[in-house]
Structure 1
Amino acid sequence: MARPKNSVPTYRLHKPSNTARCWVAGKWVTLGKYNSPESRAEYARILAEHAVAPCPTGPVKGHPDVTVNEVLLGFLRHADAHYRRADGTPTNEVPQYKQTFRLVRELYGHTPAREFGPLALKALRQKMIDAGWSRKLINQRVGRVRRVFKWAVENELVDVSVLQALAAVQGLQEGRTAAKEMAPVEPVAEEHVVATLPFLRPAVRAMVQVQLLTGMRPGEVSQLRPRDIDAANPVWQFRPVQYKTRHRGKERVVAIGPRAQRLLSEFAPADRSGYYFSPRRVVEQFHAERAANRKTPRASALVKRNATQRKVVPVRGPAEKYTVTSYDRAIRRAVVKANARRERLAGMGNFDPVPHWHPNQLRHAQGTRVRHQFGLEAAQVVLGHARADVTEVYAERDVARAARVAAEIG
């Protein structure tokens, strides 16, 4: 029968030798003479290392047989506790690591970790290229693999020479690799937003308009709550609970002007802790309106039959707030509906379709508009960037201004 695993090493007596020992990482470790100060000190050291060791049941320091799979498993345990927001909810990093690890496990899962070198990393990267991943995504995934081995070195699972060798592998450079390039995110055209709005639910329509007016990130507009807004001044100040740079100690304050305020007032929840844009409230409102607009009376027999057939606990009910994914999905569906209507009106003729766009493009559009009217520094403040070079990515350059200069002096 297999020895049961103990999460904490136990101080034990080995009677034949009158020595103290404990079971650590699959083997007995001798501590010294039983109940001596030296053995107690050695046991305390092992407990201290065990408290910070991510793989207490894995190989000990210097073990040559630790596999890549064991390193990945230990890192996932660490990542599950490490990559969390201030409120304890997990970030999106762990799913990103898991997606990366699928390919690593497939190719090198049972390989000794000390043998995972630059050629293995480059072979892994080539698999990503063959799979059609973009250059930037591949560089990110390769960086995550390096980070795993950096963590393994920190916890003495592999020698530092392994990490140093992996660091020698250069990232893919634009124009010098077969990996495809992704087109930069462009600001969405206002006419495309206007064409989509009629096919959105009122709550999502207001989310789009508020985001376009404020330059918020999609994840920020979805977490708007009265309790997080300071409405003491004519221009409200919204301090999101979760935002992209919180873990770096950056403060995020979003200014909300009169037009966005009016939109929010239409969706103000009864509870200050509730969300302005809640799918649950949208569904409840939809059912209430449908019941109010009912033309025929309900048959009592039908009501009883539905009550007996209805599930007591639904599999999944509407969420309390929108996620970035559900927000984006609602916009995509609205674009499909807008194009279906255009095609129907055009009959057999050609029609100009509304291109698919996503919520991040609204932020780019606001950044470009603010930069055009008020300058780069204003766009930097509105978008909440610490550096202006980051704003350059979000706010398109004013090409029209350059054209006017060229017309006059070029």
Structure 2
Amino acid sequence: MYLTYNLTYITYNNFMKKKHVNLFNLKLLNFIKNKFKCKCYSLNNINNNLDSDNINLTKTYNKYYNDIIFLIFLNIKIKAKENHRDFIDRCIYHYFYSKIYKYIIIWIGFFFFNTLFDIAFEDTDDEDDLYEDTDDEDDLYEDTDDEDDLYEDTDDLSSEKKNCTVIIKDLKKYRHLWVQCEHCYRSNLKKKFKSKMNICEHCGSHLKMNSLDRIELLLDTGTWHAMDENLNSLDPIEFHSEEDPYKDRLKEYQKITGFLEAIQTGTGLLHGLKVAIGFMDFQFMGGSMGSVVGEKITRLIEYAGKKELPLILVCASGGARMQEGSLSLMQMAKISSALYNYQLNKKLLYISILTSPTTGGVTASFGMLGDIIIAEPDAYIAFAGKRVIEQTLNIIVPDGVQTSEYLFTKGLFDLIVPRYFLKYTLTELLKFHI
């Protein structure tokens, strides 16, 4: 494990040139080093290699990126030029370098704003053990004519510690303003995140969307008409576990999402074309398929067949709901039977859209029965998870074999379509069918 730190003062015209370390910084770093018993890797060598005028800045950072657990910026003011924004985005959230100027402690990895820094700092007699790969301690310090630009008064160590603790608590308050990418672990401002269709602005990953956002994405404004909204799951097998009873969990998710079940079904217009459509919501018990989910999908299929409407199902599910036992498993056959009548007897179009994740019974039934099957980029699509396969068959499952791109090469899908083009792609397919 590496603790990587960078004590750098960034000016507007002189990027990554001046460095300053004070007693408080040393005590903090020493505490973290002892706490995690980890190697403190000095970024002096990295900084010496950085060239602010070219792309070596990003290349050099990428070289060390995978070793970073914490990236700590102390006593800095950041005024970033536009061409440096890409590098700074890796290190610090947009909001903080416009709002907080004193102590900024940034998380990279899996430790998100935890209580690590609510600590009592220990004295250290040996400051040299904080650094490696440096023979000259002058590399860490540079004189500056105006230290007031760097930080405020730092004479009182207890005051420093108090201010730092306050800032850390303030950071937690702003956590709700951000959405963390599951792939690159960088943060997206929530306000802009929705307008970008839940696509990470840093790595382009398609993150999960709830059913309301899906409706807004695919259907014309004001044309959505929901069906069977009042269907509610019971507890047919009186499922109880060491955790909350099934009924209590249902009520909890209903309160969180505002919906009674893990799917919304209804009709709407897609660029003026009327469709019967269903949206699964992974936020509701992992989009699991219980008796109500199966019933709503079956009713939607029967309605689409009766009205001769094209059918679209947006899948996002962890599979059959174990709390309902065999009743959840029978939904696979029930839906497949309804689709057989809809597709073969009625000769109507069914389009299946697989989003991340689509697994288990949904993949094994209606998810893969579409006349046209569309997947989102880098979607996780599988029947059984990687760990289950490895433990059951005692084999090693290579990385990436359960992604939409790999499965597309094996012929499982017809298209991989980014969200930006999904509505227009569906429109063209519907027009062709009509």
Pick the structure with more strand per residue. Answer: 2
Larger radius of gyration: 1
Q: Decide: shared fold, TM above 0.5.
A: no
Bigger relative contact order (CA 8 A; separation at least 6): 1
- So what's the TM-score if we normalise by structure 2? 0.25
